[in-house]
Structure 1
């Protein structure tokens, strides 16, 4: 299948999910192929739902509820991918007690396809992260962390491709600068590589060598910063040429709809992030036909 021109026609809504959950009906566009991408970020070890009297997220969140929603969406559309944009660890006693084992095991039960690595995923050190890797039945994608001289060498991939209903999807991961954010004794000899340069290299490979129809970045760099010297997702979208969707994390940014930026090839890129603590599940539906692709972006409160 030749790479299709990515035509943006993005619509986003926000739907509140009660304890019983909700099945979202796919938008009908008469397209030949339908791909659904679900995503989370900065869950921070929040396994349980928030109390009903919580000031910010009353009764929201909870992995059990998310699992039910993901299952219903997969029944609706088997051509579904589920990703996480990092900071899986740290935030509740579950992490303090189990060190990340529970988080990885439960994500595996939900059949996540891939995740990238956030700065808090180093909170038990790089050895602590390695110790939990056997519990993860999904891929870790990170292209700009060089783990060559660490115990994590060989545990991650820069990118991976997926085929759903004949649509080839290339997914790569990017992480935030660890120096100044994480104590070096935790990440040790992990080498940070320029994410913009790495992104352009990887996306070119995914487009020209892998012949992907859709290219997705899982980023834990942050949505946007006033400091122009900090790397962020909006700037990444502007500097890349072939990436279609950036799924972000780190800044806990609640977006009602995906942001659209224009890339270096004068094409539009979707940038999305769904807050934190598992209270939202991101959903973006792509519809492919001979004329191109359209997308519907949905933010769901779990």
Structure 2
């Protein structure tokens, strides 16, 4: 593990990126505060490491290695949050045999804080997803799926607020349009709401009403599409006002460092995604003081 533990450290890790206009709303302390955000996406039921002779990911991945890496980072900085951007399910026989139970149990053992829902998380239907939720000791965040007329009503929430070292962190979730990706009988009466509109609602509430110091979106929209009308993370970032970080999924996009996007107010937003199958772990470090915020981010091979 040592040879893979911390490599792919890019230029972003050696120079701080300043995100202008942010300051601590919920804490008046003078000391600089350090918040670490760890994240995965599109793990697709990959519990084991890839074999050493695998063509694309030789010897990489595996939940045991990720657990060790996450644990070491938490010891380095106890003010750490761990998120996933969806598509936890579907991809190995573990899902075929256990229906997601094992994935949720193991994520709970790693103390994930929250996930959003990906399209493949509906592969056993709403009933199949609901049956596994008791094994999940983390939050399911989804602002633009309306489950009111389904059995999943009340089992997700649009956003969640976390507190780390006096810093107030608001996190909301967005999912991709299920029509065309998932059979109707699997998602039933789930209503898809415009992700741009819901992002505006969520970030406004988290910043202006809840007074969050940091606003994060867990997105399963996809990193970028050529179609102007199809929502993606880069388009979302340009439209936002208060969101500081978009953690993405769905398109299996391997980024060595976050993409910096200028939002609707001229402020910089970070967009990150770490590929798929658990071979990488994303890390973003935010540094706060009473005058502003800076950050750096990179991808760690697992």
Aligned length: 286
* Structural mapping, 1:212-251, within 5 Å: 212-251=212-251
Partner of 2:271: 271
* Structural mapping, 1:69-218, within 5 Å: 69-218=69-218
SS in 1 for 2:297: strand
SS in 1 for 2:102: helix
Give the Cα separation in 2 of the matches to 1:290 and 1:301. Answer: 34
- The 1:31/1:284 distance shift into structure 2, 3 A limit, reads farther
SS in 2 for 1:37: strand
Residue 228 (structure 1) shift:
1.1
- The 1:275/1:169 distance shift into structure 2, 3 A limit, reads same
Residue 291 (structure 1) shift:
2.4
Instruction: Provide TM-score, normalisation by structure 2.
Output: 0.91
Partner of 1:58: 58
Give the Cα separation in 1 of the matches to 2:123 and 2:75. Answer: 36
SS in 1 for 2:152: coil
Instruction: Provide TM-score, normalisation by structure 1.
Output: 0.91
Residue 257 (structure 1) shift:
1.0
Unaligned runs of 5+ in 2: 17-29
- The answer (yes or no) to whether the contact 1:19–1:65 under 8 Å persists in 2 is no
Alpha-carbon deviations, 1:64-104, whole Å to 9, x = none? Answer: 00000000000000000000000000000000000000000
Let me know the Cα RMSD of the aligned residues: 1.9
Residue 298 (structure 1) shift:
1.4
- The answer (yes or no) to whether the contact 1:40–1:274 under 8 Å persists in 2 is yes
Give the Cα separation in 2 of the matches to 1:135 and 1:21. Answer: 29
Residue 18 (structure 1) shift:
4.6
- The 1:183/1:171 distance shift into structure 2, 3 A limit, reads same
Partner of 2:24: none
Give the Cα separation in 1 of the matches to 2:186 and 2:8. Answer: 41
Give the Cα separation in 2 of the matches to 1:297 and 1:119. Answer: 27
- The answer (yes or no) to whether the contact 1:161–1:168 under 8 Å persists in 2 is yes
- The answer (yes or no) to whether the contact 2:5–2:300 under 8 Å persists in 1 is no
SS in 1 for 2:94: helix
- The answer (yes or no) to whether the contact 1:24–1:73 under 8 Å persists in 2 is no
Unaligned runs of 5+ in 1: 1-16
- The answer (yes or no) to whether the contact 2:5–2:301 under 8 Å persists in 1 is no
SS in 1 for 2:105: helix
Alpha-carbon deviations, 1:145-168, whole Å to 9, x = none? Answer: 000000000000000001100110
SS in 1 for 2:252: coil
Residue 290 (structure 1) shift:
2.3
- The answer (yes or no) to whether the contact 2:15–2:296 under 8 Å persists in 1 is no
- The answer (yes or no) to whether the contact 1:217–1:243 under 8 Å persists in 2 is yes
